[in-house]
A and B are shown apart, each in its own frame.
Chain A
Amino acid sequence: MGLSHLAMIKAHPDVQVEAVVDSSGYILDVLGKYTGLATFTDYETMLESVPLDAVLIATPTRFHGPMVRAALERGLHVFCEKPLCLTSEESQQLAALAAEKGLVTQVGYHNRFVGAFREVKELLDAGAIGRVTHILAEAYGPVVLKSKGTTWRSQRTEGGGCLYDYAAHPVDLLSWYVGAPIGVGGTILGSVFSENTEDEVFSTLYYDNNVSAQLSVNWSDESYRKMTTQITITGTAGRIHADRQEIQVHLGGAAPTVQGYEKGWNVRYTTELTENVWFYLRGEEYSAQLDHFVKRIENADLDGINSFASAAVTDRVLELLTIDAEAGPATRDAEAVVAAAAPAPRRGLLRRR
């Protein structure tokens, strides 16, 4: 259970919270004592005893799969925190199960509800910067600043680590903007402090139509006050840079006419890109995504933002990055002894040594 999820969803005017489940009896007792919520330490017991429309799951990632499945099998709509599962196969199975049952599913990639990142998507859909050639997706922040950690976030086996917990966000933005990659290369899952998981993630992602992306993520960077996610997109007719606060767009001479934008530099701030929410706790996007989920259930809308199917694409990328990082350098100095291993000899005097 996430306390802030609970606070936000409990404040939603269309929602009645029927029960809360957490493995910590202590937190539950405090909640039960002071808020009157019905509490359970066992998820299955709760599912059996409380009639529900939907569940909201915010647990360590390794519990997501079985909990989501149990809910779907009972015909409940599911909002699950990101990433969906530790294997993309399981994510795809859950997406299929939800589709078969006609249930609404959503994963907590809240950046898709940030005004600036949403504006990027609209600009790309409008072809504002021409053909996209490259995207730089970054995230930095001060999460792990020394070698000891005691929660599940320090354990790769539980879905902790910079890749699943942090890099998943910019990776998901890439999935949103340019779809699934055809492959990845040069991935580094490096440790700065952590013993059992990675603290930094770097990689190159390859897409159809000669689009490429680079991922640069570090959650052990004390120079950032809090998590900062940034996207920089280069196209044949312009360039976009966005973070949570603002979007900076340069439209070149070849750019088409985009309403509200002019040729050259355009800057728009969160103050104009953000709509008010019914309840604000940590940022409009966290509330907005829950509201989206609620509205989708009300409207039986199965194809909204951040469905399981969309999250499964991101989970697959996370898997590819893990596999690629194991492989290490593609071109090793010690093995590529002879220059002849280089591309086929070229004619003429310019042949490389």
Chain B
Amino acid sequence: MSENATLIETSAGATHMDRLLFGDNQFFGVNHMSEEKARAQAMRFQNLDAVLAVLDTAYDEGITTFMCTTHERIAEVAERVRSNPARYPDFRFYPCMPYAHKYADAVTEYGMLGAIRRFLPDEGMMNAMLRGGSSIAKKDAEGLITLLVDAEMAAFRGLSTPVIWLQNVVVDLLLGLGFTEAFVIFAQHIKKRYNAEPGFITMNLPLLLDALEKAGIENPLVCSNINKIGFRMSGGIEGYAEALAGRTCRAVAMSVFASGAIPAREAIEWISEQPNIQSIVFGASSQANIRSTKQLVDEFSGTRPKRER
């Protein structure tokens, strides 16, 4: 852990979160600005060693938390970290589940129930089948949700996963449907079974905070696009400003640079002035970008309002 990393004591008491987290979009050909750039990244990171080299760079710069999807390839990263405890004593994963594409593809191909059946966990298959089967029969969301979470978490066994996130595709689907009970089921399972803190990624922060409050989830950990130009902030930048200032929550800001539309210094300076921003998650592929982002965040960290409790 670098000397400069800022540690925040959260209301939950147990969870320390670094100010700067490393994301994984760049590794999987996700780029919200350009298809060409996305493809170039997919080519570059086809080889796992290229991914690990960038993760090593970030780790050595003091960015030791990797906020990642539960993409199949992340299992290989997890395995590498697991087998080198001396190299990565402080490495933490913040898994974001589910990796939606594999489910969406399966739903297209097998239909809704067929898809669910395909994603039962490997371990304890009989048990899982019984649990999943009876959940399906009883229309019991709790059994099904916890089962899918366990399947996604299998790759991280034995690793540090202090925060576990529900991806925006699922959060926002449930939010739109009004299926808020699922948030509670997820949160309770994450706390109970993994002794970790549940987090919710969303593209609709103001609406989600309303729903989480109604569901009784207090001071939630949320992650959303938060950037100076209001890019992909549903409810508008004013709605976000109100929500961040007026609500009890801890926010992780993503897309702070709006895919490169905002100059780095301007972007970090702005986000540092917003209240209730716990951390910033960013993706980068070069040592220069990783280092300069870290330096900017360290530089502006001293100036941010102390609204966190």
Interface residues, chain A, CB within 8 Å of chain B?
Answer: 3-4, 6-8, 10-11, 24, 26-27, 29-31, 33-36, 142-143, 149-151, 153, 225-226, 228, 230, 243-246, 269-272, 274, 276-282, 284, 287
Other contacts beyond A29-B139, A33-B141: 14, CB < 8 A = A4-B173, A6-B177, A11-B176, A34-B182, A151-B109, A225-B29, A225-B38, A244-B35, A269-B261, A271-B33, A271-B229, A276-B235, A280-B204, A281-B173
Contacts of A10 in B (CB 8 A): 176-178
Cβ-closest chain B residue relative to A269 = B33
Residues of chain A with a CB closer than 8 A to B230's CB: 276
Report B121 CB to chain A, min CB distance, Å. 21
A153 to B177, CA, bound (A): 25
In the bound complex, residues from chain B placing their C-beta under 8 Å from that of A278 are 234-235
Instruction: Tell me if B207 counts as interface (CB < 8 A to partner A).
Output: yes
Cβ B110 vs Cβ A7 within 8 A: no
How far apart sit A281 and B171, CA to CA, in the bound complex (Å)? 9
Q: CB-CB < 8 A to B179: which residues of A? A: 34-35
Q: At the interface, is chain B mostly helix, strand, loop or mixed?
A: helix
Residues of A within 8 A of B32 (CB): 245, 270-271
> Nearest 6 CB-CB pairs, A to B?
A7-B176, A280-B203, A271-B261, A280-B234, A11-B176, A35-B178
Docked-complex contact B141 and A30, CB < 8 angstroms: yes
Q: CA A269 – CA B34 in complex, angstroms? A: 8
CA distance A287 to B259 in the complex (A): 21
B interface with A by C-beta (< 8 Å): 28-35, 38, 42, 101, 105, 108-114, 136, 139, 141, 169, 172-179, 181-182, 203-204, 207, 229-236, 258-259, 261
Q: Are B28 and A225 in contact (CB under 8 A)?
A: yes
Using Cβ atoms and an 8 Å threshold, which residues of chain A touch B231? 271, 274
In the complex the two chains form, what is the Cα distance from A11 to B204 in whole Å? Answer: 11
CA distance A225 to B232 in the complex (A): 21
Q: Which residue in A26, A35, A225, A272 is a CB contact (below 8 Å) of B177? A: A35
**Measured CA separation A282–B141 after assembly (Å):** 23
What are 16 of the A-B contact pairs (CB < 8 Å)?
A3-B173, A6-B176, A7-B176, A7-B177, A26-B139, A27-B112, A30-B139, A34-B181, A226-B101, A245-B34, A269-B33, A272-B261, A276-B234, A276-B235, A278-B234, A281-B169
CB neighbours (8 Å) of A230 from chain B are 35
Known: A34-B182, A270-B32, A271-B33. A279 touches B258 (CB 8 A): no
What separation, in Å, do the CA atoms of A27 and B112 have in the docked complex?
9
- CB-based contact A276/B233 at 8 Å: yes
- Report chain A residues within 8 Å CB of B181: 34
Q: Which residues of A contact B173 (CB under 8 A)?
A: 3-4, 7, 281
Q: Are B258 and A150 in contact (CB under 8 A)?
A: no
Are A280 and B139 within 8 A (Cβ)? no
Which of B101, B113, B169, B173 is most buried by chain A, counting CB atoms within 10 A of its CB? B173
Contacts of A274 in B (CB 8 A): 231-232
Assembled-state Cα–Cα distance A243/B235 (Å): 25
Contacts of B141 in A (CB 8 A): 30, 33-34
Question: B136 to chain A: which residues have CB within 8 Å?
Answer: 26
Pair A271/B233 contact, Cβ less than 8 Å: no
Known: A11-B175, A26-B139. A270 touches B33 (CB 8 A): yes
User: Is there contact, CB below 8 Å, between A150 and B110?
Assistant: yes
CB contact between B176 and one of A24, A31, A243, A281 (< 8 Å): that residue: A281
Residue of B nearest to A142 (CB): B105
By a CB distance below 8 angstroms, the chain A residues around B28 are: 225
- Assembled-state Cα–Cα distance A246/B7 (Å): 38
Tell me which residues across on chain B come within 8 A of A8, comparing CB atoms.
Answer: 176
Q: A276 to chain B: which residues have CB within 8 Å?
A: 230, 232-236
With A24-B112, A281-B172 in contact, is A31–B234 under 8 Å at CB? no
Q: Give Cα distance in the complex from A10 to B182, angstroms.
A: 17
Query: Are A246 and B109 closer than 8 Å at their CB atoms?
Result: no
Closest to A9 in B: B176
Determine if B110 and A151 form an interchain contact, defined as CB atoms under 8 angstroms apart.
yes
Q: Is the CB of B34 within 8 A of A246?
A: yes
CB distance from B70 to the nearest CB of A (A): 16
**CB-CB nearest in chain A for B31:** A245
Provide the residues of chain A in CB contact with B203, threshold 8 Å.
Answer: 280-281
Which residues of chain B have C-beta atoms less than 8 A from A279's C-beta? 172, 176, 204, 207, 234
A19 to chain B, nearest CB (A): 14
Q: How far is the CB of B61 from chain A (nearest CB, A)?
A: 27
Which residues from B are CB-within-8-Å of A272? 261
Contact A228 B35 (CB under 8 A): yes
Cα–Cα, bound, A278→B175 (Å) = 13
Contacting residue for A11 out of B113, B207, B259, B261, CB 8 A: B207
Q: How far is the CA of A10 from the CA of B211 in the complex (A)?
A: 14
User: Which residues on B sit within 8 Å (CB–CB) of A4?
Assistant: 173, 176
Shortest Cβ distance from A149 into B: residue = B109
In whole angstroms, how far apart are the Cα atoms of A150 and B107 in the complex?
10
Q: Whole-angstrom distance between the alpha carbons of A246 and B38 in the complex?
A: 12
Assembled-state Cα–Cα distance A29/B174 (Å):
16
Instruction: Determine the distance from Cα of A278 to Cα of B239 in the docked complex, in whole angstroms.
Output: 11
Question: Which B residue sits closest to A151, measured CB to CB?
Answer: B111
The CA-CA distance from A142 to B104 in the complex, in Å, is 11
List the A residue with the shortest CB-CB distance to B42. Answer: A225
If A33-B139, A246-B33, A269-B33 touch, does A143 touch B176 (CB 8 Å cutoff)? no
Max chain A Cβ within 10 angstroms of own Cβ: one of B30, B178, B230, B258 = B178
